[in-house]
């Protein structure tokens, strides 16, 4: 990172800049108090000779969500379908997992410490079957407390990349220059407060690393400078989504999404735009409703006569499920494109646009979509 991190020095570059300090939606003292209340109620229930249980909103049900300001939002406990997780020594460890993690989170908050989910798993491998099980429990605990992971000292590695006209100043004063030719990793400390500087005109969020690298190879950043490119390398992690959110909210830049013309690409675009079901309890903190879908649109497959493959039965089922999500109105253009996908029975990738001719993706497709407002 030494080639992209520079100590803060005198700068005369005239850039749009903003300092972002993340204030926890729920104060640490309130989170600690909430944990104490949960544990107190468990102890009280046991002392009364009853089986203790914990009530958590079910984050696997789309009808447990409302859509406010084009963002997914988990319903309140009184209105949502909930899961009652009871203590069961023989059949299930779910209750034990949650109480254990509540204890660890409590300690992290009291000591103002940070711990990765990986570290938590290796602290007690006999309790959790694998890393994914601990991750699922962490999501339940965060939903129970109505907080983000970073609010309670839980961190995870970021796999996203960012490249272009963007300078990120860390809490320690270091500056990350994102103009590296290969892009730089989205920083994990982004939730702790950052300072952004940029004179970019727009941001292009690219679904896959392969397409991201293709655009870098074709000098997209130089041909359309000043601009910023971001990729979550598939389904984006929280820090990549948070960075995109900050850039839009604080730098007021238009955000465009370039994804495959298939149900998986469209789903990923929707995660950036509307939020995800798993993180619906903090949807307002992650979603970017102003994000526009630049392409690849299913209608492009026939209009541009690009290479395509037939939809599988799984693709069709997943598309039907995606169409039914609560953030699509009957007249939604995204919904219309999903119907087109099903009608033509074909799917294409970003790389199929690039194969039309040398430089077509960079020099023709993306700028044409932006200039002609062929965005959704």
- Tokens 């104060």 belong to 27
Q: How far is CA 101 from CA 111, 153, 370, in A?
A: 15, 12, 47
List helix spans (H) across 224-276. 238-251, 263-274
The active-site residue out of 100, 106, 121, 122 is: 122
Answer yes or no: are the C-beta atoms of 364 and 325 closer than 8 Å.
no
CB atoms within 10 A of CB 114: 15
238 Cβ contact partners less than 8 Å away, ≥ 6 residues apart:
148, 149, 150, 156, 279, 286
CA 66 remoteness from chain centre: 18
How does strand 255-258 pair with strand 203-206?
parallel
Whether 239 is catalytic is no
Beta pairing, strands 115-116 & 154-155: parallel
Bond into 294 cis (ω within 30) = no
Residue whose tokens read 């609560």: 326
Structure-block tokens of residue 147:
């907080």
**d(Cα 100, Cα 114) in Å, to the nearest integer?**
17
> What are the DSSP E strand ranges found in 178-272?
184-185, 194-198, 203-206, 228-231, 255-258
Task: Give the residue numbers annotated as catalytic, written as ranges.
Answer: 122
């Amino acid at each position: 990172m030494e080639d992209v991190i520079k100590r803060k020095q005198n700068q005369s570059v005239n850039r749009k800049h903003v300092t972002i300090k993340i204030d926890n939606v729920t104060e640490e003292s309130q989170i600690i108090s909430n944990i104490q209340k949960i544990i107190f109620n468990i102890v009280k229930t046991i002392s009364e000779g009853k089986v203790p249980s914990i009530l958590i909103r079910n984050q696997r049900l789309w009808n447990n969500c409302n859509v406010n300001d084009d963002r997914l939002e988990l319903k309140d406990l009184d209105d949502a379908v909930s899961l009652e997780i009871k203590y069961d020594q023989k059949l299930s460890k779910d209750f034990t997992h949650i109480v254990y993690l509540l204890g660890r989170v409590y300690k992290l908050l009291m000591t103002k410490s940070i711990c990765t989910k990986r570290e938590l798993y290796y602290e007690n491998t006999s309790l959790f079957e694998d890393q994914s099980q601990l991750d699922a429990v962490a999501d339940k605990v965060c939903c129970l407390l109505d907080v983000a992971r970073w609010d309670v000292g839980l961190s995870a590695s970021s796999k996203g990349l960012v490249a272009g006209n963007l300078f990120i100043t860390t809490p320690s004063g270091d500056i990350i220059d994102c103009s590296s030719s290969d892009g730089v990793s989205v920083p994990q400390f982004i939730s702790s407060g950052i300072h952004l500087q940029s004179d970019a005109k727009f941001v292009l969020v690219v679904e896959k690393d392969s397409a991201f690298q293709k655009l870098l190879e074709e000098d997209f950043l130089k041909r359309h400078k000043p601009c910023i490119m971001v990729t979550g390398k598939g389904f984006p992690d929280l820090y990549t989504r948070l960075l995109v959110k900050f850039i839009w909210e604080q730098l007021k830049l238009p955000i465009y999404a370039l994804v495959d013309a298939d149900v998986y690409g469209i789903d990923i675009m929707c995660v950036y735009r509307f939020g995800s079901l798993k993180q619906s309890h903090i949807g307002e903190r992650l979603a970017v409703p102003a994000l526009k879908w630049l392409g690849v649109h299913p209608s492009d497959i026939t209009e541009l006569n690009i290479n395509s493959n037939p939809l599988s039965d799984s693709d069709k089922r997943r598309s039907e499920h995606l169409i039914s999500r609560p953030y699509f109105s009957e007249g939604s253009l995204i919904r219309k494109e999903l119907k087109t996908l099903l009608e033509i029975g074909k799917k294409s990738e970003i790389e199929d646009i690039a194969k039309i001719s040398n430089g077509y993706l960079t020099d023709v497709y993306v700028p044409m979509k932006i200039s002609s407002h062929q965005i959704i």
